[in-house]
């Protein structure tokens, strides 16, 4: 039997959360290795690119979050088998990772520099991506982003949308999604009520 060990920070959310959710939903056994932020300098020394998440598949350590999410998504039955639906899933995943990267570029900034960078995101790139994502949702049936069912694209969208609306990102309005792409807020809340996801957070605490 394949042994899986997912390594990431000890909090709900972030780049490993969609993989955690996928394996929980699909009942895929794995070691959920979580570490404190203070331990990251030491943990990163044992990773291929000095970053997390990583996934050990038996003795092979895999890096890159989207590759990990796709792999465990296949194991969990949450990745489309149809080539075109897989393309739609991957397209959404790529756009969502763009959001991660754009916000990530503002980390480390402080004071006026942070406010200026985040204001630019909140009035420019983020509304553009959110409106595009809302349109994709509408074009693909209004319930899910691909394959007319829950896929890893929905899990990644759920995690990122929740983060954007959490109020934890300084200078990113918590009502941004409700303002520029209200159907995404409805979608996020609907995904949160999927029984396996609701149970996951009831046990783990909110993302």
Work out the average pLDDT over 75-103. Answer: 98
Residue where one domain finishes, among candidates 29, 56, 76:
76
pLDDT for position 204: 79
Work out the average pLDDT over 185-189. Answer: 97
Return the half-sphere exposure (C-beta side, CA atoms, 13 A cut-off) of residue 11.
10
Residues in CB range of 137: below 8 A, 6 or more apart: 143, 144, 145, 183, 184, 187
First to last CA, the chain: 30
The CATH code of the domain that includes 180 is 1.20.1050.10
Relative to beta strand 60-62, strand 54-57 is antiparallel
The answer to the question of residue 205 being in a domain is: no
Q: What are phi and psi of 181, to 5 degrees?
A: -150, 70
88 & 177 share domain: yes
CA separation for the pair 65, 16 (Å, rounded): 7
Work out the average pLDDT over 77-97. Answer: 98
Range of the domain at 103: 83-194
22 & 89 share domain: no
Work out the average pLDDT over 4-24. Answer: 97
pLDDT for position 207: 46
CA separation for the pair 162, 206 (Å, rounded): 10
CA separation for the pair 31, 168 (Å, rounded): 28
Q: In the block, which residue shows the tokens 């994502």?
A: 133
87 & 172 share domain: yes
99 & 142 share domain: yes
Q: Please give the mean pLDDT across all residues of the chain.
A: 96
CA separation for the pair 132, 110 (Å, rounded): 30
172 & 111 share domain: yes
pLDDT for position 1: 82
Work out the average pLDDT over 44-70. Answer: 97
13 & 42 share domain: yes
**Helix runs in 105-194, H state only:** 111-120, 126-139, 152-164, 176-180, 182-192
96 & 189 share domain: yes
pLDDT for position 41: 97
Q: How many domains does the chain have?
A: 2
pLDDT for position 205: 61
**Predicted TM-score (pTM) of this structure:** 0.96
The answer to the question of residue 171 being in a domain is: yes
The CATH code of the domain that includes 18 is 3.40.30.10
pLDDT for position 203: 87
Q: What are phi and psi of 189, to 5 degrees?
A: -65, -35
Residue where one domain finishes, among candidates 57, 76, 95:
76
Work out the average pLDDT over 22-51. Answer: 97
Strand residues in the chain grouped as ranges (E): 4-9, 31-35, 54-57, 60-62
% the chain with pLDDT above 70: 99
182 & 139 share domain: yes
Work out the average pLDDT over 55-72. Answer: 98
């Amino acid at each position: 039997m394949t042994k899986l060990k997912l390594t990431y920070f000890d909090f709900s959310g972030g780049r490993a959360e969609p993989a955690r959710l996928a394996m929980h939903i699909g009942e895929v056994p794995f070691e959920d290795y979580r570490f404190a932020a203070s331990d990251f300098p030491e943990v990163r020394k044992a990773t291929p690119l000095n970053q997390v998440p990583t996934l050990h598949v038996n003795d092979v350590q895999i890096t890159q979050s989207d590759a990990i999410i796709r792999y465990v998504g296949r194991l969990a039955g949450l990745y489309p088998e149809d080539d075109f639906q897989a393309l739609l899933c991957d397209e959404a995943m790529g756009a969502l990772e763009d959001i991660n990267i754009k916000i990530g570029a503002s980390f480390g900034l402080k004071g006026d520099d942070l406010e200026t960078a985040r204001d630019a995101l909140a009035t420019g790139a983020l509304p553009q991506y959110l409106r595009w994502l809302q349109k994709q949702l509408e074009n693909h049936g209004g319930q899910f982003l691909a394959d007319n069912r829950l896929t890893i694209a929905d899990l990644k969208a759920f995690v990122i949308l929740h983060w954007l609306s959490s109020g934890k990102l300084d200078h990113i309005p918590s009502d941004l999604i409700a303002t520029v792409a209200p159907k995404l807020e409805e979608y996020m809340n609907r995904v949160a009520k999927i029984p396996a996801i609701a149970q996951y957070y009831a046990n783990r605490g909110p993302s």
